[in-house]
Chains A and B, each alone.
Chain A
Amino acid sequence: MTWECVIGLEVHVQLATRTKMFCAQANAFGHEPNSLIDPYTLGLPGALPVPNAEAVKLGTRAALALGCKVHPVSIFARKHYFYPDLPKGYQISQFEEPLATGGQVWIESPERGRISIGVTRLHLEEDAGKSLHDRLPGRTAVDLNRAGVPLAEIVSEPDLRSPAEARAYLTLLRQLLVYAGVSDCSMEKGTLRVDANISIRRLGETKLGTKTEVKNLNSFANVEKALEVELVRQVGVMESGGTIRQVTLLFNAGTGTTREMRSKEGSNDYRYFPDPDLPPLVLEPAWIEEQRASLPELPDAKRERFTSQFGLPAYHAATLCAERPVADYFEGTVEAGAEPKAAADWILETVLTDYNESGAFPVAPERLAALTALVKDGTVSKQAAKQVYGELAATLESPRGVAERLGVVQVSDTGALEGWVDEVLAAHTAEVARYKGGDAKLIGFFVGQVMKKSKGKADPKAVQPILQAKLG
């Protein structure tokens, strides 16, 4: 029996604002517990929410980056539940009239190729605080620094058909949101959090099966892994004639297993209603268009441009565009005069290693461009240039200066080259005889010997014609 898997994701993204969603307290990570609080954050009597314009702007830009329709009027609503890290007893969110709906993004599915995934909605809300169950023995500690931090909740359609597609969707989502400058989308810091809904059905069936929700996912790899585990479990249950119960599962990354958190059958009644403290959020259509127009070029468009404008191979363009800083670095290098393909090669082969390690570019794009120019005009070999690159990070010297200091500037002066060629030919009479006897591929051997003799300084392109002339 073949089963089809149906996955939908709910992603919470913290917006990179200076202050919280509804008050002037700082939105920051890693501070002393309960140091970022104020009357609103504490839910003190008489405190009132005032929407953060920057959060609205970032939420709007996120929605536009995901192809959503941003609504000129949306409504903040209260979502009620009692929990110690929810100071007011309700969370301000959006329910019936969210900020944006109807988006669509395109992903590369490992199984289905390029497919589109619907984005049901994006709405604004405030984060809850954190309950810490492991700080004080037998007690729960509450840290309200996170309470009130602005969030965009992004809900996908149940369009994903495999754990790998779920991961591809998340990777793309992060890419778009980082590009749009709305969040750093770090699962480690909790600025991006994922809840996954998964169900299975017989292939060909159109009705959705009973879904379970998987929580506590701390990396994209774990999202994929947890969904794989849950998929196997659901198939096992169905094939042994059982039924899936609607439950919430917690994933344990250490053991690679899930365990049931709570039954969803008597599901929470959040008693949503429009927040009477907040008038409808009204956005001028012209302002929404302004946000759309000022969005940076998004990865898809950039990739296409990199292929058409710079003639880059698809793989190069995709790799460069995966992260906006890398794409910007590439364009900076090209603007500084580098040949696009050479710049792309340099970045893929060398620069990315540094960037992935440190998150920074140790060599400015102008200096990388100057270095590629040295390779192009034959001043240094590609090999030697890598040596120069390694030095550039630690110095302000020009690439040429470094090449000279390292003594790797190529010699194309015919007199010097002829001297080395003569010495090599004199030392290898047997090979000369074999070459003359028709073993033409020995030319490579002679070039290698000349390079060795010159300690790499000889320009191999200049060496070959001299060799050929002398070998007659």
Chain B
Amino acid sequence: MIPHDIARGTGSRLRDAESQGLNATLAWSQLQLDAEAARVAEMQATAPLYGMPVAVKDNMVTTDLPTTCGSRILEGYLSPFESTATERLRAAGALIACKTNLDEFAMGSSTENSAFGRVKNPIDFDRVPGGSSGGSAALVAAGVVPAALGSETGGSVRQPASFCGVVGVKPTYGRVSRYGLVAFGSSLDCISVFGRTVADAAKVLGSISGHDPRDATSAPRAPLSGAVPHLDDLKGLRIGLPREYFPADLDAGVRAALDRTAATLQAHGAELCEVSLPHTKYAVPTYYIIAPAEAASNLARYDGVRYGLRKLEHGEGVGALYQQTRGAGFGPEVRRRILIGTYVLSAGYYDAYYRKAQAVRALLAADFRNAFAGGVDLLLTPTTPSPAFKAGEKADDPVAMYYSDIFVCGISLAGLPALSVPVGRSEGLPVGAQLIAPEFEEDRMLAVAQVLERALDGAAEVR
């Protein structure tokens, strides 16, 4: 297919998704898609992502489409510079298809917190697609694009991948440059990838990975190859099942899907064993101290002085400008996290909250290190405690919402690579299995995920 046709086809699918009310896109235009096609047409057809339309979560800056982070405070903001990830996507021959809807500043687990309306789960419009990268997940699940970029701070790609029945891959922290990713929790933020298949996700991840001198936390390592190592069987592979990730109240459908997954791995020669990650119960509280602390700091720059929303309708002075701009520009969840983050960093509370959370974070990371050091090659867990929940179901209960990330945010705190792969459906709703690898061992988990993908019908009912 020539890039021009791809651009046209992508545009028509985006229009269909829009008219169905998926609400997954924030910015795209046929004009921009055609310009992408013209650019790619000049490239060698051997470029790794030649002609692949890729949707991009709207918290990565692009010079040809606005970047809003799903927030009023950045409505209409056009960046003068390009993020490393999208620059590399384009250099690899991909077409940036559109910018996708997200929870405001990536804060949420359901993509209900966007200032521009909630994203629907293409499997069931009454349900959430997960979040915060819900727009990207929904577009891949709806077949609009084969792959999309999302970002993770505490599971924001794996959790929506699980809810939408697509592959979601979070690499090791530092594997992909954060340059141009609008910061939420800088020590956790990780550009991640959705794919219809493991192979598509790996290909995109390979193209955007690798060291970037513009990000001081970028790992000085060569890029991933983009290919998934082929495994005929899983002989000699030890896969650990952390008992804390299979609680008694785990959703029955999720449990059934994970049982089937474990059986499949075993059938392919893998050895399964139970392991323990004893500090797991502290992951969510720890995450909800560290991430908001960093967020409160990172979001201080949205003050109405230099760019974005500027509001001063009554009173005068810079204090009034800040209050009115930030009061009108940030939604309730963002405000809540700024308040939490400001509180935990305040004099007199820092030691009790932020410093203690950092200590617990080190214990969580040690749990994983110990498990791997104990001879386990990968860990297998459910990605989420239940399939996609209904829109509005947890909107008034932030803590319940936070706990939907219970199986994903500990890994983010540890900085490890992990992915979610569809392993079946429960009453029609997708269930994802999570594979967790030691740092920089992305290839290992991708290879095993591909074995599962081939052996299991990810869309088959398991109950």
Contact = CB atoms under 8 A, between A and B. Distances in A.
A142 B79 CA distance: 21
Nearest to A42: B306
B187 interface: yes
Given A46-B61, A51-B216, A276 B294 contact: yes
Nearest to B317: A140
A50 interface: yes
Contacts of A49: 216
B186 A45 contact: no
Contacts of A279: 216-217
A45 B297 contact: no
A48 B61 CA distance: 13
Interface in A285-339: none
B216 A277 contact: yes
A78 interface: yes
B342 to A, nearest CB: 7
Contacts of B294: 276
A211 interface: no
A131 B306 CA distance: 14
Interface string A86-103: 011110000000000000
A140 B316 CA distance: 12
Contact of B297 (A39, A51, A90): A90
Nearest to B185: A276
Contacts of A39: 79-81
Interface string B232-275: 00000000000000000000000000000000000000000000
Nearest to B213: A50
Interface stretch (B7-15, B31-39, B343-351): B343-351
A63 to B, nearest CB: 22
A45 B213 CA distance: 18
B79 A89 contact: no
B147 interface: no
Interface string B67-101: 10100001001011101000000000000000000
A278 interface: yes
B216 A142 contact: no
Nearest to A144: B306
Interface residues of A, number: 31
Given A45-B79, A82-B300, A276-B185, A271 B342 contact: yes
Contact of A46 (B183, B185, B293, B318): B183
A43 interface: yes
Nearest to A24: B214
A276 B303 contact: no
Interface string A40-65: 00111111111100000000000000
Contact of A45 (B69, B217, B300): B69
A87 B301 CA distance: 6
B300 A88 contact: yes
A286 B342 CA distance: 40
Nearest to A85: B305
Nearest to B177: A48
A82 to B, nearest CB: 6
B214 A48 contact: yes
Given A43-B306, A273-B345, A276-B294, A48 B179 contact: yes
A84 B80 CA distance: 21
B303 A82 contact: yes
From B83, B214, B300, B350, residue with most partner A Cβ within 10 Å: B300
A84 B67 CA distance: 23
A76 to B, nearest CB: 9
Nearest to B316: A138
Nearest to A278: B216
Given A89-B301, A90-B300, A46 B83 contact: yes
A243 B6 CA distance: 78
Interface in A169-212: none
B80 A45 contact: no
B182 A45 contact: yes
B60 interface: yes
Given A45-B77, A48-B179, A273 B305 contact: no
B337 interface: no
Contacts of A386: none
Given A80-B300, A273-B350, A46 B79 contact: yes
Interface of B, secondary structure class, is loop
A276 B69 CA distance: 20
Contact of A50 (B67, B216, B318): B216
B440 interface: no
B57 interface: no
B134 interface: no
A377 interface: no
Contacts of B185: 276
B181 interface: yes
A32 interface: no
B301 A43 contact: yes
Nearest to B318: A84
Given A46-B81, A279-B217, A82 B322 contact: yes
A82 B300 CA distance: 8
B184 to A, nearest CB: 11
B50 interface: no
Contacts of B179: 46-48
Contact of A44 (B69, B81, B342): B81
Contacts of A265: none
A84 B216 contact: no
B297 A80 contact: yes
A279 B178 CA distance: 14
Contacts of B299: 89
Interface string B276-294: 0000000000000000011
A435 B453 CA distance: 125
A284 interface: no
Contacts of A82: 300, 303, 318, 322
Interface in B201-245: 213-217
Contacts of A89: 297, 299-301, 303
Contacts of B181: 46
A277 B217 CA distance: 6
A349 interface: no
A278 B174 CA distance: 12
Interface in B164-189: 178-183, 185-187
A43 B307 CA distance: 10
B216 A48 contact: yes
Interface string B21-59: 000000000000000000000000000000000000000
Contacts of A90: 297, 300
A362 to B, nearest CB: 46
Given A84-B318, A279-B216, A46 B180 contact: yes
Contacts of A50: 213-216
Contacts of A140: 318
A357 interface: no
Contacts of A134: none
Interface in A233-264: none
B354 interface: yes
A42 B80 CA distance: 11
Nearest to A39: B81
A49 B216 CA distance: 7
A111 interface: no
From A46, A87, A271, residue with most partner B Cβ within 10 Å: A46
A1 B60 CA distance: 67
B306 to A, nearest CB: 6
Given A45-B79, A142-B305, 4 more contacts: A43-B301, A44-B81, A46-B180, A273-B354
Interface of A: 39, 42-51, 78, 80, 82-84, 87-90, 140, 142, 269, 271-273, 275-279
Q: Which 4 residue pairs across A and B have the least CB separation, nearest first? A: A89-B300, A276-B187, A276-B186, A271-B345
11 contacts: A42-B306, A44-B61, A45-B77, A46-B183, A48-B214, A49-B216, A87-B301, A271-B342, A271-B350, A278-B217, A279-B217
